[in-house]
Amino acid sequence: MKSYLTATILIVFTSTICLARAVRSPDMKTLMKRSEIIFVGKIKTIKPSGITTKLTYPTWKGVIFEWLKVEVEVIEPIKGTEKKQIVKVLMLSTRGPGPMAMAPGMVDPKVDQHYLLCLLPTKIKEVYASITAPFDDNQAIFLLDRKSWNSTYYKDGKKVEFREQSDKNSALWNLIDDKGKITLNGVKKLRKKYNIEIATPASKDAIIHIRWKKKESEGSWQWNVPDDEDYNDDQAKDEN
């Protein structure tokens, strides 16, 4: 099967060990195809949800992972949404001591910021999350701000700017102008280029689990799996 994911490896060295964490970074075609809803949106409200989860990694000890409850207004619908619709989105955040090495790729939302959001449903009715959550939220929820896109690299001795690095980066760059305004031309180009993927429904059983638990092998290898008691719509109703 052809893979459309780019695996980026984050590496950190300590005095005793070398740690690496693979990052899920889908290309734009995959994001357009596998998401249930996609839109350019504006952050309206941000609140703690009170929903926490356990994520296991050697450098994440003592950290509390809590989902933020974010309301986002649809500015430009791309897939499965309507203009001015308010979409409820869960975004991962942390509470705990100090900076975290090899941290999950989280979004740091601020009211009035613009984002491109590629989302799948959670078990809570009409509540969504990044299709790459919980470990790589920011690989499917993108802040639209050219000033924040300062990553460059060199190829054959020449500097390659952010917008020239991939089709995904180029599409993001064209969605916003230098003054921070959404460009209708960029949105139209995105819709046209990925019209087949946008018209493809997401898998019916594709959901984002928001509660996870640790599994451990006999050799002390640890990893995360969805919690059988994943937070669901019934629990959300009980708390209201």
Domain count, the chain: 1
* Whole-prediction pTM: 0.85
Q: What is the mean pLDDT of residues 5-20?
A: 42
pLDDT exceeds 70 at position 231:
no
Give per-residue burial for 12-33: e unless 16+ CB within 10 Å, then b: eeeeeeeeebebbbbebebbbb
6 near 105, Cβ under 8 Å? no
- At residue 12, the pLDDT reads 40
- At residue 150, the pLDDT reads 78
Query: pLDDT class for 3, splitting at 50, 70, 90?
Result: very low
230 near 224, Cβ under 8 Å? no
- At residue 62, the pLDDT reads 79
Q: What is the mean pLDDT of residues 213-224?
A: 77
- At residue 235, the pLDDT reads 66
* DSSP H helical ranges for the chain: 28-34, 167-174, 184-193, 195-198, 233-239
- At residue 6, the pLDDT reads 45
Strand pairing class (86-95; 127-130): parallel
- At residue 161, the pLDDT reads 84
The lowest-confidence range among 9-23, 27-41, 90-104, 225-239 is 9-23
- At residue 238, the pLDDT reads 55
Query: pLDDT class for 8, splitting at 50, 70, 90?
Result: very low
The lowest-confidence range among 17-26, 166-175, 193-202 is 17-26
Q: How many helices (H) and strands (E) does the chain have?
A: 5, 12
pLDDT exceeds 50 at position 5:
no
98 near 86, Cβ under 8 Å? no
121 prior amide bond cis, ω within 30: no
The lowest-confidence range among 102-111, 192-201, 227-236 is 227-236
- Look up residue 21 and give its two tokens: 């964490």
Query: pLDDT class for 237, splitting at 50, 70, 90?
Result: low
Rounded to an integer, what is the distance from CA 206 to the centroid of its chain? Answer: 15
For residue 14, what are the domain limits?
A: 5-239
Q: What is the pLDDT of residues 120-153, one digit of tens each?
A: 999 999 999 999 999 999 999 999 999 988 777 7
